[in-house]
Each structure stands twice: as structure tokens, then as C-alpha cells.
Structure 1
Amino acid sequence: FLLRTTSQPLADDKYAMFGKTLLSVAGLFRGGRLFWSSASRLGLLTIIMKLFFCPLMISWAITGATAVSKFPDTLSWNILSVSFYLTQIFLLIDTSIFAFGYLVESNALKSEIRSIEPTLLGWVVCLVCYPPFNSFAFRPFECIDFRVTSAYPAQIYVAASVLMTALWGVFAWASVALGFKASNLTNRGIVAKGPYRFSRHPAYTAKLMIWFIQFLVFGQLTLGLFIAFLVVYGMRAWTEERHLARDPAYQAYQKQVRWKCLPGVF
């Protein structure tokens, strides 16, 4: 699951140092010592992260590509159908970019993983957003079972669908901006282009706005689930910033881009 080129000295190479740790385990039976270093830890956590996310993103990208390839034969040329089609394309763009990001590290592409989320909380709030954890992690919030059931004029539903599609476009734009550096829980260099010029968390903001529309207009989410998503993604943003702020480049970026979510608001 790893394609990689690097110019790092061997002592700083996280995978080489984790390999050295594994070799030292055998030496314990001969009275040796376990080798462990910060590079070993980074190597271990990076491998765990890749083992979790690589299969997910690759399978989603393949499934998305298959679905998108069939759409031209079944597409109805109306606003709702086209919006759905574009949404699937945007999701395919996102998963394809992230699949590549998890698979490939390259010094030439400036996509080396420099550090990884150091706290259990940061890992938990990230992983609960993905299968299999998201199938049960949000169930306690379903006790707040309020759901909007108001009927709106047809124009409202059309406008909401178009807005959601545009927000999925922003979501995909954020992934394109990350490019080769796309992956969760990591610092692979600070990105300050695309929508990251205006907001430090454009993808999370787009998702939360989509879920708010699904709750308020379409009644597809309960109030409890929307609150859960708001809390979890808020914590994801907070833990990510706490991690990335160890990098002076991110501290400079925070001064450059003031807004965490919506420019001019928050």
C-alpha cells in the first residue's frame, strides 16, 4: 500500500526506523534492547493510518467511477438529476485524490508525511466519521428525534439541491487544492491555495452546510444527528489545528487566513 521516494537520511526515515524496531523485538529473546524512537513511532502510526484509509478510499473511488460511468445512459436532463450526477463526480474526485494521497509519498511531490496526529482524541474524532465506526458511533444522538417535516414550494427544493451541489463542488475543490498532500491526521506541508485561501477548514464547512440543508429543507437528518456532526467536526477542526500549530508554517498560515470556517463570520 506504499509507493514512496525520499531523500531523508536513514536515521530520520520513519519506515526504516520502525523496521529497526521490529528487528529489535527478536533481539529481546537474546537479551537485547527494544529500539524505539520518535521516527519509529511516526512510522508505526503512519502505517496504521494507511492500513485503515487506503482500502476505504480505493474501494470508494472504484465504486464511484463505476457509478459515474453508467450515468450517461440513465441520466435525465433535469436540474435534480444533473445535480445528483455532479455530486457523484465531485465525490469521485475527492476519493480518487485521497486514495492517491494515502498510497503515494514522494519527496519530489513534496508529500512526505512529516508528523501525525499525536493524541487519542484526534484519532477518535476522525475515525468515528468512517466505516465501520460511523455505523454505531452516532446512534446515541438519535434520541433527539426531531425532524423537520414542513412542506416547501418546489422551487425551494430545487434551489437547495443546486446549493448542495455547489457545496459538494467546494468540497472537491478543497481536495484538489490538497493534491498529493491529501490525507487525514497528517502534516504533509501547509496548503494555502484554492478554498484554503479563504477558510482554514473549507471541506468541513461545506459538509456541515450540506447536512444543515438536509436537516432543515429535506428532513433527511434528525436534529440529534446534525448536532453530533457539528460537534464531531468541530472537534476534528480543533484537534487538527492543535496538531498543525506545532509547525511554524501553520502558525503563519493562521495569521494569514483568519477564518476557520465561513469567511467573514467565523
Structure 2
Amino acid sequence: MTALPTAHPATPSAAPARLPVSDVSTGVGLAGLAGLFVWIAFCRSYPEIAGVLGLAGGLSGERGLLSGPYAALAAMLFTAAPMALWSVLVDKVHLRPSTGIDWSLKRPLPETLPLSVVKLVGLWATWALLAAFYGLARWYWSGNYLFAMEVLTVAILPLVTLSVPYVIWLDRYLVEPRDGCFQFGAFVLGGGVIGREQWDAAGLAKHWRAWAIKGFFGAFMISILPPGWAQIVESNPSQLIGDPYQFVMLLVTLLFVIDVQIGTVGYLLTLRPLDSHIRSGNPFLAGWLAALMCYPPFVWGIIGPSNSVLSYEIGTPGWAHWFAGNDTLLWAWGAILVVLTGIYAWATVVFGIRFSNLTYRGVLTNGPYRFTRHPAYLSKNLFWWASVLPFLVTNGSLADAIRNSFFLLVVNGIYYWRARTEEAHLLAEDAKYREYHAWMEKHGLITATLIRLKRLVTGAPAPRRTETHAFPAE
């Protein structure tokens, strides 16, 4: 990894006249959303459906609502399949040059098979090392992570089996089949000594950055699938409509379920034929530090709810406590929270099958990204302020109110740090992102407003843009 540059890479000399076209169409995320809602409706209505179909035994309606963890896991299939089909049949992403595939090649099998064997060794060795990491890390063997470990343990044999025909087939069409998996395979087979010309340190680092991201965040996302799913499938909205707090939190949970389902698909479905492969992982150490601080196990000791370094909820019962007894205020404030969570979920939905932290997988310019470069971070941090109200405490301690507010500001700063490191990564990788970055600075409803406000407060003049080379990502 490299150090973060002191300044962003230069953007184009002038903002483009039009917003660049997004690499992911709106239809992809909407297709996944539709598939997810169909599965939710099926799981909520399963007893009635089983009765109509006359299903008996283990499939009878007596098993009740399908609210268990495996139904939550199956939801990913109903989310992923429509998005993949839309991407191929409507957007025809498999024909894009960015896939690295040339379907007219079809190299002879004897020519590509030796490459495929080396690549499979690299892929399987990567999985083996990730499995060793899971085995060593204690936090994967308690709580919600146990479900993720169960899923990955069962999945490994089918993955190994299916990887053989997939790699052999795809290598016949790849413009450059000697990718990161191939290089790592050559490294493993040669013991890091023999066949040195087949790999290089930069290629191995790029390979492992991508797989570290998939391994770390993929397990986390799988682990958080079941809880929200059970709440949504088992809920009875008609009983909650009279309670503003409970109904609002049900809607918030539904939006988080949407976010988690589509986000998990994004982490796992990194395939070149879908143009959803990871082009690169963030090469900046600062980017990794900022991101990892926000996820288990690191977040447990840093931004936990109590007695952590940056705890901001000491003595804070939250918004429902302070507005209790006034339904009008509860509904109004709850609506704000639902809108903020909706923006957060929308920011994930528009990614389609490309969502993941710390990666470059193309450029998004539609949905909420038309208004701000970081809609998820902005809405999430505003949600925390609006839901926790850290400056209102029940213990009467002014010190706690100040500490809570200060440490939530620090958490906001961590997300600002994440945003800056992500921009540095993407600015270095893609000319389209540099155009998007410049367009947003001038035309983005929220981004441009904040930049003008910053210049007004600091008295800084608008920067003069000159064309220079981007800071190297590797």
C-alpha cells in the first residue's frame, strides 16, 4: 500500500458540460429490488401459499413464515438473478471492453489450459489462506458471525467445483488471462523463486487487496443478513401503525434489509462477464484505516455504544424518548429518519451488483450520486445525529452532552476521511471519475453548495485547474 497523496490528483481543466453517463444503469438496482420484494412477499405469505398448493410434510404451511437465516440467504438469489439478467440482456455489459473479454477470440483449449491450471492453483490457494484467516480470528466464531462461517464452510466445495469449468471457459476469451490469480498461482507453484518472470510484487499486491476486501467484508455482510430479515418477514404493520416509533423503526429496518441484501450481492458477485469485477482495491493505507475503524472487530473497541474510545450515546435515550406523548412530532421526526435511511439504501441500490467498500468497479453518476459524491456517508451521519440526539442526556451531565457531541463529530470526521481516500483512489484510476468529480464541484446540488460555503468561510479562491497526470494508484 502507498501513502495518501498530500493533494488530490488534478481533475480536468474545466467541468464537462454534461454529467458523465453512469457505468450502472438505474434498471439494474430496480430489478434487484423487485426480485427482493417478490421473495419477501412469498416468505410472508408462505403458509397461505403452501395451503393453496396442497404442500405437505416439511413443505406444509405448518412451518410458518419463512423468516429464518436460510430464507435470508435465499433472498440474495432473488436479488442477484434479476440484476444479472438486466445487466446482460438490457445493458449488455458483457460486451463492454472494460470486462477484459473479447468474445471473438475463443483460443484453442490446449493453448489456454496450462494458464487455467496455474490460475486455479492461485484461486484455491487464495481461498485456503482466507479460510486460515477465518480460523485464526476469534471473532468469527461467536455471535452472528457463526452463520457466516457455516455458509462459507458449506459453499467452499461447490465453489471449488464450479471454478474449474468457469476459469477454463473464461480464459479462452480473456484479452489478458495472466491476471492476479494467475500471478499468485505462479508464485505458489514456484515457491516465490522459480518462474519469477510470471509474477510481480505489484500484481500480487493488487490481487490480495481485492481478495482481502471480499473476504473481510463478505463475511461481515453474510453475518448480518438474518436479524433484519426475521423482523421484516414476521412483522405485522397493521398492528404497528398506531405506534409512530415502532412503525418508523419497521420502515428503517426494511430499508436496511434492502441495503444489506443488495450490498452482500455486490461483495460476492465480482464476475468479469457481468463487468462487476474489482478493477482495483484502494492502495492507500489511510483508506484502509478509515474504513476498518467502522467495522467489526475494530468498531467494537472504537465506536461502540458504551465505554469505547469514541462512544457518543452515554445517557442518550434517543429521539423517541424526547418526543414521547406528541404523535405529531414523532411522525414528523420519524419521517426525517426514514428519508435519511431511504437515501442511504438508495445509494446502495444504484450500485446494483457492484457495491463494495475500498474498490474501484466503475463510476456511478446517477441516483443520489447526482447530488452529492457521498450520499451514503452524508445520510448515515445525519441519521445518527437525528436519531441519537447526543446533546440531550437523561443523567443531567453537561459533560456527557458535550462529550457525546464531540465524539460524534469525530466519527463524522472518520467518514469524511473515508470519503477523501476513496476520491483519491478513484481520481487516480478513471478519467470518467475525474470528469464526474469536476462536474459535481460546479453543478452538484449538495456538493457544489458545500464547496461554495467552504470557500466563503475560509476565503479561499476557486482553484485554477490545469491538466496534469493523475497520482499513480499502484
Which residue pairs with 1:224 in the alignment? Answer: 406
Give 2:226's aligned amino acid. I
Which residue pairs with 2:342 in the alignment? Answer: 169
Which residue pairs with 2:254 in the alignment? Answer: 89
Which stretch of structure 1 is more off in the superposition, 99-108 or 133-142? 133-142
Contact 2:340 2:379 (C-alpha < 8 Å) held by counterparts = yes
Corresponding position: 1:192 with 2:375: no
Over 3 Å counting, the alpha-carbon distance change for 1:161 and 1:256 in structure 2 is same
Give 2:372's aligned amino acid. S
Corresponding position: 1:17 with 2:183: yes
Deviations 1:215-258 (A, max 9, x none): 43894892133112211000000000011101211101112222
In the alignment, structure 1 segments of 5+ residues that lack a partner are none
Cα distance in 1 for residues equivalent to 2:269 and 2:293: 24
Structure of greater Rg: 2
Aligned residue for 1:200, secondary structure, equals: coil
Corresponding position: 1:204 with 2:377: yes
In the alignment, structure 2 segments of 5+ residues that lack a partner are 1-151, 153-158, 394-400, 451-474
What TM-score results when the alignment is normalised by the length of structure 2? 0.50
Over 3 Å counting, the alpha-carbon distance change for 1:140 and 1:59 in structure 2 is closer
Cα distance in 2 for residues equivalent to 1:47 and 1:204: 24
What TM-score results when the alignment is normalised by the length of structure 1? 0.86
Give 2:342's aligned amino acid. G
2:278 to 108, 113, 116: 113
2:263 to 75, 95, 98: 98
Which stretch of structure 1 is more off in the superposition, 108-117 or 191-200? 108-117
Cα distance in 1 for residues equivalent to 2:422 and 2:291: 10
Q: How many residues align?
A: 262
Cα distance in 1 for residues equivalent to 2:315 and 2:261: 36
Over 3 Å counting, the alpha-carbon distance change for 1:158 and 1:56 in structure 2 is same
Deviations 1:29-71 (A, max 9, x none): xx77594243321111111111111111112123321221111
Aligned residue for 1:257, secondary structure, equals: helix
Which residue pairs with 1:63 in the alignment? Answer: 227
Contact 1:171 1:203 (C-alpha < 8 Å) held by counterparts = yes
Which residue pairs with 1:265 in the alignment? Answer: 449
Corresponding position: 1:41 with 2:205: yes
1:237 to 385, 402, 419: 419
Give 1:203's aligned amino acid. A
1:255 to 426, 435, 438: 438
Cα distance in 1 for residues equivalent to 2:333 and 2:237: 26
CA-based RMSD of the aligned residues comes to 3.1
Aligned residue for 1:245, secondary structure, equals: helix
Contact 1:17 1:37 (C-alpha < 8 Å) held by counterparts = no
Contact 2:313 2:388 (C-alpha < 8 Å) held by counterparts = no
